[in-house]
Amino acid sequence: MPDQSMIDQSLMSDELFQRFARLIYEVAGIQLSGQKKTLVMTRLQKRLRALNLERYEDYFQYIKEDNNEFVVMLNSITTNTTKFFREPHHFEFLQNRLLPHLIQHKQANRELRIWSAGCSTGEEPYTIAICLLEKLQSLAPVGYDRSDPYRGWDIKILASDLSTKVLNTAQEGIYKGEALREDLPEALLKRYFTPCGNDRYRVQDVAKQLIRFRRLNFKERSYPFKKPFDLIFCRNVMIYFDEAMKSHVLTKFHQHLAPHGHLFLGHSETMFGNKLFSPVHITVYRKQ
């Protein structure tokens, strides 16, 4: 097996990096500038060692012939930073403004559909589930049947990501206690998580059962959804896309949002001049 020094000596040429970048963009829509070359080399070194390869050229040929390894490679080069209640102003707006409105105006079919697009390791969709459950409980009449935490609502949260690795972690729903105690009030930790040893906690079924995890590539020409979403969260994902890819994704979000549905973007992502959506809060937009 090649050691670290052998791999370091086999440098990735600018031309080879551009071949990697073009292939990644063609398949996943992720744009890699020349400034990312060192990061890509560093992240891929582990894969070269694991596969007993000495040259990045050999690895490039490998991922062209092995789709599973291509996915592993994407897992390696993308950053999956997230936490519970990340960008808390979004969840305050969700609980205080959007959910009361949706619950009031959808009493006829009592159906809610939400998409966490780019869900990473699951903190975002589980946070959404917790917000929903808390709001349903707070709006419940005195003496309601507490054996039904969903109060007769049909709620589905789709959580998608390109990375199979993070989806597996998300579906497992187990998180370190130290991080949870930093992100969550103690009352929510006790209400929605169960200790499972080694200072780790598992998401309880009451929240977990609301979520369906699946792999989805934003680059696809069509998205396989039959029903529209009331809300879409796609935060800190489009920073990886060029303008053409952003336009494609935003058009698809507009297509799959219900009338006057809402789209949440990340704190550094804006849509100046976009005629498909109008701003209603800090990086929250309503479908036009």
Catalytic residues: 43, 161
Residue 127 CA to its chain's centroid (Å): 12
Which residues lie below 8 Å from residue 107, measured CB to CB, with a gap of 6+?
none
* Calpha distance 112→103 (Å, rounded): 9
Give burial (CB, 10 Å; 0-12/13-18/19+) of 189: middle
Q: At what angle do helices 67-77 and 14-28 cross, to 10 degrees?
A: 100
* Calpha distance 128→195 (Å, rounded): 21
* 233, 191, 105, 96 alpha-carbon torsion, rounded to 10°: -70
Q: What is the DSSP letter of 239?
A: G
Q: Is 127 helix (H, G, I), strand (E, B) or coil?
A: helix
